[in-house]
Chain A
Amino acid sequence: MTSVAAPPRPRRRTAGISWGAWLFGAALVVLILFTLFPFYWAIVASLTPDAALFRDPSLWPQQIILDHYRALFGERDFITPIRNSLIVAGTTTVFCLFVGTLAAYALARLEFKGKPLIMGFILAVTMFPQISIVSPLYLLLRSLHLIDTYPGLIMPYMTFAMPLTVWVLTGSIRQIPKDLEEAAHVDGATRRQSFTKILLPLAVPSLATTGILTFIYCWNEFLFALSFTLGPERQTVPVAIALFRGMYQVPWGEILAAAIVATAPVAALVLIFQRRIVQGLTAGAVKG
């Protein structure tokens, strides 16, 4: 991943290595260290016995054990929250992609009155403070007996996942050239045909990127998962980790092991798809 294809546009070359460039480089290195250090430390600590950890913390691993990971998947049953997170985040993502693609297509390709209004509305909803709707959602889910169930999480997740999906997809579909579709229309193709035969195949990468983004947001969500689940059976990964410090315990070794496990999938996604994610994130957001 370290070598990335040359940027699409020509860049300035720094002429010679100046004093400023050195400073710049040094600052960058410090920033990268700052970024990576917590991960490094978490990995080291999760492999260190608790007793050693609290007696004399050391930057270098002295003794490596896998006990914390074993406990995590043994006594702790960390599989359950992972399964819950996968089900909830996965279902939400798939559903949002389905519905969101249609909306995004309309918003990116069709001309109709009220479009700016819809975009404004969707953007406004992405900025919604989640806490504002916790109480009615709680009462609503309670009356439907959906507290502590998967649907009881998937439904609230739509509140942020749906606008996000529509917004990002609209942005990236707009960046797909219209020419092919227009040519097809001239040849007598219907909107439907141009949508399914031409745009959809072209939009597959955008869909994947959006899906990844939506999935990450759902995977990371905390407030709703905390409010609408009640026990270990339905808790998602973030809630399970946050509540690890049970009644009495602060099992740091296991917490950190869990943190590493929860981070690994999203970190992998990010490392593999970083360019696409960057594009997806910035597609709708900034217009020059």
Chain B
Amino acid sequence: MERHGLGGAIRAFPGSGLRRDLESTKPKQGAVGLAGSSWSAFILAFSLAGFLVACAPASKRGETVLTFSGSALGAEGTLVQKQLKRFMELHPTIRVELQRTPDDASQRHQLYVQWLNARVGNPDILQLDVVWTPEFAAAGWVLPLTRFAPASSEFFPATIAANTWAGQLYALPWFADVGLLYRRTDFVPNEPRSLGDLVTDAKQAMARPGGPRFGIVWQGARYEGLITGFVEYLGAFGGRILDDSGRVVVNQPEAVRALQFMRDELYTWHIAPLDVLTWHEEEARFAFQNGTAVFMRNWPYPVAAMSDKSQSRVAGKFAVSPIPASGQAGGHSTAALGGAQLAINAYSESPDAAYRLIEYLTAPEQMIERGQAVGQYPTRPALYHDPRLRSAIAIPLDDARRAIESATPRPVTPIYTELSEILQIELHRALVRQAEPQDALNSAAKRIDALIERTGMRKLMSGAHNGPGPASAASSTAGHSE
């Protein structure tokens, strides 16, 4: 195209030196001509590369090819490979390909959204974060599992609730993550019964000669981890973010008390260092592992590293328990629920085979194996009596089970990501003392309300609790036929 333009320009001046010149050097491809053709060649290469990327690998006849997306790194990757191989041996007509996706949650989310927007059928099976399921379900991007009649009663109710939207189950919980309270047993032998006890214990331990510098460390940077911590304090005081009818109640007195409590830990009792306001999980672990903190709020993952004497100063000197309740009326011990779920891509060409794989991966045997290999918690309560798990999970199984049973899902709503962002900002503002807790939460409530209004979520959320709701409408407009 470009060459043509150039040629045209030159032809218009038959007597010009350039034309003669070009013609005389034509076989050699002069600079001008070369640039033109290299340009179109470049565009061509672009499109070609794009085409190649877009093309999915072709499958053999008579064989169902499934793509499974998930972490493919380290021990977890090895484990997944192993289990997929076993699955293929059991089902010779199904071939499963592992597609590596980013480990960073927000990037994986972006990738999924992009694929699903483009209605790409791969990967057939999606590994979802616990807070994504309603969003993907409402968008019609994942299939309801109802028709496969999953044995949902065998899983922890909280994990099932987190994966349910508009009365239908959209994903099966694969493994669970819960917020836990770590404590130094050499300073605090018994688990605190209430948040008040926790404060007293922390202060006493800090006051002891050689006592840790910090009373409690948690994740207070402005990111999703802040919400999980807040949800735990919120439950401890009996508050919620949204109520059952989807109304915003995050500025109610219980919530203000919870936020005020977090602030008092920082500024009144000085048991939490201000540093936590920039910390994620790993900084908290460093502090606790180096022996500088009495308590820590974290997920189960650090147990292994902290029990290792070669890198940990607290090996054998810490224990784990559920995060206590506030001791005030209505409050209850609460853990934030995390973990991974498996769902079926709504555009998958072989949803039945995909479900078989999900069923296989969430079966008791595979969960036990997962617990043993990478220490991740099963989502089936029955397994917490299995002795094989006892050696795999470094804390008493009953404690682990109790923590999961007391776990509350974060708000189950398709607009979770934006709701969370609003809340992260306002919580952080209150914690760094840019705003008073009541004002920050009022502002959060106002903005979440506006968000609900803007996205038409009011209608959606009432629909979520009675009748089929818009999800089925969305999936039918998405053109999926079952």
Contact = CB atoms under 8 A, between A and B. Distances in A.
B409 to A, nearest CB: 20
B45 A151 contact: yes
B35 A102 contact: yes
Contacts of B50: 144-146, 149, 151-152
A102 B47 CA distance: 24
Interface stretch (B86-94, B98-106, B137-145, B450-458): B98-106
Given A190-B21, A192-B30, A142 B114 contact: yes
Contact of B282 (A95, A143, A192, A248): A248
B: contact size bracket: 35 or more
A145 B101 CA distance: 16
B383 interface: no
Given A95-B42, A232-B102, A245 B107 contact: no
Q: How large is the interface on A (under 10, 10 to 19, 20 to 34, 35 or more residues)?
A: 35 or more
Given A102-B31, A231-B100, A192 B54 contact: no
Contacts of A192: 17-18, 21-22, 25, 30-32
A195 interface: yes
B46 A151 contact: yes
Nearest to B219: A248
Contact of A150 (B21, B30, B49, B100): B49
A249 interface: yes
Nearest to B102: A231
A6 interface: no
Contacts of B53: 145-146, 149
A146 B17 contact: no
Given A145-B50, A192-B32, A231 B18 contact: no
Contacts, number: 94
Given A155-B46, A192-B21, A230 B31 contact: no
A24 interface: no
B421 interface: no
B117 to A, nearest CB: 8
Given A192-B30, A230-B107, A245 B280 contact: yes
A19 interface: no
A147 B112 CA distance: 12
A65 interface: no
Nearest to B107: A230
Contacts of A232: 102
Contacts of A29: none
B286 interface: yes
B39 interface: yes
Contacts of B111: 148, 230-231
B49 A149 contact: yes
A200 to B, nearest CB: 8
A19 to B, nearest CB: 45
Interface string B36-60: 0011001001110111011000000
A98 interface: yes
A250 B283 contact: yes
B132 to A, nearest CB: 15
Contacts of B118: 142-143, 145
Nearest to A230: B111
A102 B102 contact: no
Nearest to A55: B290
A13 to B, nearest CB: 48
B426 interface: no
A54 B51 CA distance: 49
Interface in A153-187: 154-155
Contacts of A245: 280
A243 interface: yes
B360 interface: no
B110 interface: yes
Contact of B101 (A151, A195, A231): A231
B397 to A, nearest CB: 24
B35 A98 contact: yes
B280 A248 contact: yes
Given A98-B38, A191-B18, A231-B111, A196 B30 contact: yes
Contacts of B124: none
A270 B306 CA distance: 45
A246 interface: yes
B281 interface: yes
B18 A190 contact: yes
A149 B25 CA distance: 37
A231 B107 CA distance: 7
Contacts of B110: 230
A230 B102 contact: yes
Nearest to B313: A51
Contacts of B30: 192, 196
Interface string A243-264: 1011111100000000000000
B102 A147 contact: no
A229 B107 CA distance: 9
A266 to B, nearest CB: 26
Contacts of A95: 38, 42
A247 B105 contact: yes
B39 A99 contact: yes
Nearest to B301: A248
Contacts of A146: 46, 49-50, 53
A95 B35 CA distance: 9
A147 B282 CA distance: 31
A193 interface: yes
A151 B49 contact: yes
A248 B281 contact: yes
A147 B281 contact: no
Contact of A196 (B17, B31, B38): B31
Interface in A78-101: 95, 98-99, 101
6 contacts: A142-B114, A191-B17, A192-B18, A200-B31, A232-B102, A247-B281
Q: Which 3 residue pairs of A and B lie closest in terms of their CB atoms, listed nearest first? A: A145-B54, A231-B102, A190-B17
Given A230-B107, A243-B107, A246-B103, 7 more contacts: A145-B50, A152-B50, A191-B17, A191-B18, A192-B25, A245-B280, A248-B282
